[in-house]
């Protein structure tokens, strides 16, 4: 059997993943049933250990790295040979369930082929899929030419300091790799699947305007900070934030889908519109073209009859890979100066993450491998850019430039009520991972 070709191994592994369906579903359900959003509980650690158990049971080596009394980050290493190293990094924490669920968010109930629960797609489904892909290959003793590493981390939803960042700083030798996959949900609803080659960066800016207090009946004796703020915000809205040529445009993606689905671009546009509000594909696609801006909060004034001396607004920019956060400050300052109000305005970055992207993705081995496997196994696929931040940015910054996000579930439905993942998507993602591992690392024959 050891002289099977790469293609021969792929066939065996695809069949074996089908045989593992029950175990895959059970693992996904088990980890959904462990609530892992509350740092006061052991949830994040327990999920890591439940994942680890599946691997240990097969003799795959695991280690746990505690970054917090309640977070144990798992690193599992299956070293078959010296050669390339491929890392899978998935987070085990979730966001709080919130209100209005029609099912129990931690029961992992199955209805019509969908597993429901907080984290089903973001991203316990992805964690289950990466784990079972590794198990499928290990069960068959596929003679990979390299090393496969699984890293299940905590703390992603709170920026990753105690999860991926912690592992980069404290267990780098264990997780360093030539390329990495982040199994975050990347389905595109009715259109197909996305191989995410990068992400935009959130830049949050606090703007404060200063005025002078006076009695409301003698307003001209004072200086109204709210009025100054309104002028500035109006100018920013009209000007639009500075942008650079994007890596991928909405038009690119629509034509990629048109090609993948063998349809006209116009028909793709109709599908996007039909997806409707419950699936805001259109908004995600528009986000590709330019830096976006949202005025998120505004506060000011103390009483109706007092001229306000202070007003504060917070703005959420999503910058494109290649842009610097400071450019957003310069943008605001430019308009404040133009309006002659710069001495009345302060601006400060309160959160900044730069965008990041796999360079020349169409020539990148991992990106192309995932793209081809997804096209063959899952369905129509495109290269895409995630509109929000993932731990991928941390791995790219640490030196694993070839970090790609791909996983089961629909990108735009993460964090919503009645979150769910289709069992069919779980199986497809597991197969895409298993086949991609074979193709990326290669097999001995």
122 lies in the binding site for Zn ion (CB under 5 A) = yes
Q: What is the CA radius of gyration of the chain?
A: 24
Confirm whether 93 is a catalytic residue. Answer: yes
Residue count at the site for Zn ion (CB under 5 A)?
3
C-alpha 38/C-alpha 221 separation (Å) is 51
In the complex with Zn ion, the residue whose CB is nearer, 123 or 152, is: 123
199 lies in the binding site for Zn ion (CB under 5 A) = no
In the complex with Zn ion, the residue whose CB is nearer, 135 or 386, is: 386
Give the interface segment with Zn ion, choosing from 181-189, 237-245, 302-310, 316-324 (CB under 5 A).
181-189
123 lies in the binding site for Zn ion (CB under 5 A) = yes
| Residue 67 C-beta: closest distance to Zn ion, Å | 18
C-alpha 46/C-alpha 49 separation (Å) is 5
Other CB atoms within 10 Å distance of the CB of residue 1: 10
Q: Which residues contact 264 (CB under 8 A, 6 or more apart)?
A: 258
In the complex with Zn ion, the residue whose CB is nearer, 256 or 411, is: 411
- Which member of 10, 72, 93, 344 is catalytic? 93
In the complex with Zn ion, the residue whose CB is nearer, 31 or 328, is: 31
In the complex with Zn ion, the residue whose CB is nearer, 184 or 354, is: 184
Q: What are phi and psi of 131, to 5 degrees?
A: -65, -45
C-alpha 283/C-alpha 388 separation (Å) is 12
Residue nearest to Zn ion (CB): 122
| Residue 196 C-beta: closest distance to Zn ion, Å | 12
The CA dihedral of 274, 278, 283, 284, to the nearest 10 degrees, is -100
Give the interface segment with Zn ion, choosing from 28-36, 134-142, 182-190, 425-433 (CB under 5 A).
182-190
Per-residue contact string for residues 224-253; x = within reach of Zn ion by CB under 5 A: ------------------------------
Give the interface segment with Zn ion, choosing from 106-114, 119-127, 346-354, 431-439 (CB under 5 A).
119-127
C-alpha 50/C-alpha 27 separation (Å) is 8
| Residue 155 C-beta: closest distance to Zn ion, Å | 11
- Which member of 10, 156, 344, 391 is catalytic? 156
C-alpha 79/C-alpha 145 separation (Å) is 9
| Residue 252: closest CA among 197, 181, 302, 316 | 197
In the complex with Zn ion, the residue whose CB is nearer, 156 or 344, is: 156
Give the interface segment with Zn ion, choosing from 184-192, 196-204, 287-295, 370-378 (CB under 5 A).
184-192
| Residue 301: closest CA among 213, 175, 373, 230 | 213
Confirm whether 178 is a catalytic residue. Answer: no
| Residue 426 C-beta: closest distance to Zn ion, Å | 16
C-alpha 9/C-alpha 434 separation (Å) is 10
In the complex with Zn ion, the residue whose CB is nearer, 98 or 276, is: 98
| Residue 122 C-beta: closest distance to Zn ion, Å | 4
Cis peptide leading into residue 368 (ω within 30°): no
C-alpha 121/C-alpha 118 separation (Å) is 8
93 lies in the binding site for Zn ion (CB under 5 A) = no
Other CB atoms within 10 Å distance of the CB of residue 325: 19
395 lies in the binding site for Zn ion (CB under 5 A) = no
> Which residues are paired to 86 by β-bridges?
148, 179
| Residue 182 C-beta: closest distance to Zn ion, Å | 8
Q: Under the rule (CB under 5 A), what is the footprint of Zn ion?
A: 122-123, 184
Active site residues: 93, 156
């Amino acid at each position: 059997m050891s002289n099977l070709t790469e293609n021969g191994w792929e066939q065996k592994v695809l069949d074996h993943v089908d045989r593992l369906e029950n175990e895959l579903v059970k693992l996904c359900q088990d980890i959904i049933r462990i609530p892992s959003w509350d740092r006061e509980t052991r949830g994040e650690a327990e999920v890591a250990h439940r994942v680890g158990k599946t691997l240990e049971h097969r003799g795959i080596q695991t280690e746990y790295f505690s970054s917090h009394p309640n977070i144990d980050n798992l690193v599992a290493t299956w070293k078959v040979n010296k050669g390339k190293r491929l890392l899978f990094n998935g987070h085990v924490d979730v966001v709080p369930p919130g209100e209005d669920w029609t099912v129990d968010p931690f029961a992992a109930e199955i209805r019509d082929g969908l597993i429901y629960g907080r984290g089903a797609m973001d991203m316990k489904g992805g964690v289950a899929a990466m784990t079972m892909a590794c198990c499928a290959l290990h069960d068959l003793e596929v003679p990979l030419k390299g090393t496969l590493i699984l890293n299940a981390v905590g703390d992603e939803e709170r920026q990753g300091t105690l999860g991926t960042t912690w592992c980069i700083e404290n267990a780098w030798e264990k997780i360093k790799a030539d390329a990495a996959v982040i199994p975050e949900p990347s389905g595109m609803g009715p259109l197909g699947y996305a191989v995410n080659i990068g992400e935009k960066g959130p830049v949050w800016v606090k703007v404060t305007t200063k005025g002078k207090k006076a009695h409301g009946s003698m307003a001209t004796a004072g200086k109204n900070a709210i009025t100054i703020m309104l002028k500035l915000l109006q100018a920013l809205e009209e000007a639009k934030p500075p942008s650079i040529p994007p890596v991928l445009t909405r038009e690119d993606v629509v034509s990629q889908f048109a090609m993948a689905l063998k349809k006209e671009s116009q028909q793709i546009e109709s599908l996007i519109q039909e997806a409707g509000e419950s699936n805001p594909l259109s908004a995600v696609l528009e986000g590709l073209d330019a830096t976006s801006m949202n005025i998120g909060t505004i506060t000011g004034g103390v009483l109706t009859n007092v001229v306000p001396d202070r007003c504060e607004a917070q703005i959420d920019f999503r910058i494109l890979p290649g842009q610097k956060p400071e450019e957003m400050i310069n943008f605001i300052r430019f308009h404040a100066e133009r309006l002659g109000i710069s001495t009345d305005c302060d601006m400060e970055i309160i959160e900044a993450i730069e965008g990041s992207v796999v360079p020349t993705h169409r020539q990148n081995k991992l990106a192309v491998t995932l793209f081809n496997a997804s096209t063959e196994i899952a369905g129509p696929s495109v290269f895409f850019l995630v509109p929000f931040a993932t731990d991928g940015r941390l791995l790219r910054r640490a030196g694993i430039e070839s970090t790609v996000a791909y996983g089961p579930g629909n990108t735009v439905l993460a964090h919503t009520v009645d979150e769910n993942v289709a069992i069919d998507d779980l199986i497809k993602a597991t197969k895409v991972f298993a086949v991609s591992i074979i193709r990326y690392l290669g097999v001995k024959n």
